[in-house]
């Protein structure tokens, strides 16, 4: 059974911490035509958690890499 998705509070906290910029390439959300994603740095399948220090705001380009 899949774990529930992140809460809106968690997503908001990650975006605020990142200053609404991709945490990898630093492009800004407001200038991107595509939505940003909250990704797990260490995937859940590899033992990663939903703690804020394991979550990153990523643009589509960085998330797809």
Cα of first residue to Cα of last residue in the chain, in angstroms, is: 27
Residue 1 has pLDDT above 60, yes or no: no
Residue 4: the pLDDT is 63
pTM: 0.84
Residue 2 has pLDDT above 70, yes or no: no
Judge contact between 36 and 57, C-beta under 8 A: yes
Cα–Cα separations (whole angstroms), residue 31 to 15, 20, 40, 52, 61: 15, 10, 23, 24, 14
How many whole angstroms separate alpha carbon 14 and alpha carbon 55? 7
> Predicted confidence band at 17 (pLDDT cuts at 50, 70, 90)?
very high
User: What number of other Cβ atoms are within 10 A of residue 8's Cβ?
Assistant: 8
Q: Where are the domains of the chain?
A: 8-64
Q: What percent of the chain has pLDDT over 70?
A: 94
Average pLDDT score over the chain = 92
């Amino acid at each position: 059974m899949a774990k529930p998705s992140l809460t809106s509070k968690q997503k908001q906290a990650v975006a605020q911490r990142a200053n609404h910029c991709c945490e990898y390439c630093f492009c800004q959300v407001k200038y991107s035509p595509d939505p940003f994603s909250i990704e797990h740095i260490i995937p859940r399948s590899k033992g990663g958690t939903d703690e804020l220090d394991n979550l990153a705001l990523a643009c589509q380009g960085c998330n797809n890499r």
